[in-house]
Amino acid sequence: MSAGTYRCTQCGKDLTVSSTKHLPPCSACGNGSYRTITGGDSVDDPYPDKGQKTRHD
């Protein structure tokens, strides 16, 4: 997972990480699905990943 800020798709809480293999469940609601806000997978990045949602399994 690229460094950046991710937003929980359920409650909207932001999570900022430097770099990690997997995103942890949301500390506010336990959800594991995030939308990329900033970072390597962001739509504003010149080389974005194709997906806009990041799923924690």
Domain range for residue 46? 4-55
Q: How does pLDDT run across 2-56, given as a tens digit for each residue?
A: 889 999 999 999 999 988 788 899 999 999 999 999 985 555 554 444 444 555 5
Cα–Cα dist 33/45, whole Å: 20
pLDDT at 9: 97
DSSP class of residue 50 equals S
Task: Say if residues 12 and 29 touch (Cβ distance below 8 Å).
Answer: no
pLDDT at 27: 96
pLDDT at 39: 82
Q: What total number of domains does the chain contain?
A: 1
Instruction: Please provide residue 9's backbone torsions phi and psi, each rounded to the nearest 5 degrees.
Output: -75, -10
Predicted TM-score of the model (pTM): 0.66
DSSP class of residue 46 equals S
pLDDT at 2: 81
